[in-house]
């Protein structure tokens, strides 16, 4: 019952920054863990970042840790991904997702997905 819509993707140069947004509607988003995944051509969809609905902890894939920051504004039912120091290997379609599981890096544990937004990093 949760609908998710990503925005903010586009072309950026290596070393640049981009902020993705995910607007949620439907069932109360504050009761869901929010996550970001990405999928490059020919590759499996991989976990990027997660933020629980309980507690204050966040967690990241090793490949983006220290460069990306996940956050949420529950009053606005919105999830964010701030991406800094972007690299060409960050190029992918980025998806936001939601799960009732507090800590999850597994795409199969996420029940709701956005349509994706393309991020292209050029050198």
pLDDT one-digit tens code per residue, 50-86: 999 876 799 999 999 999 999 999 888 899 999 999 9
**Cβ–Cβ < 8 Å for 18, 2:** no
CA dist., res. 97 & res. 22, Å (int): 9
Average pLDDT, the chain: 94
Q: By three-state DSSP, how is residue 57 classified? A: coil
């Amino acid at each position: 019952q949760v609908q998710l819509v990503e925005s903010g993707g586009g072309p950026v140069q290596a070393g640049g920054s981009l902020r993705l947004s995910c607007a949620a509607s439907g069932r109360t988003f504050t009761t869901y863990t929010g996550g970001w995944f990405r999928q490059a051509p020919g590759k499996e969809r991989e976990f990027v970042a997660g933020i629980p609905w309980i507690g204050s902890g966040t967690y990241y894939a090793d490949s983006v840790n220290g460069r990306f920051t996940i956050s949420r504004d529950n009053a606005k039912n919105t999830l964010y991904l701030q991406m800094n120091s972007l690299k060409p290997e960050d190029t992918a379609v980025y998806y936001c997702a939601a799960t009732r599981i507090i800590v999850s890096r597994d795409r199969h544990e996420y029940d709701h997905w956005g349509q994706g937004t393309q991020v292209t990093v050029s050198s």
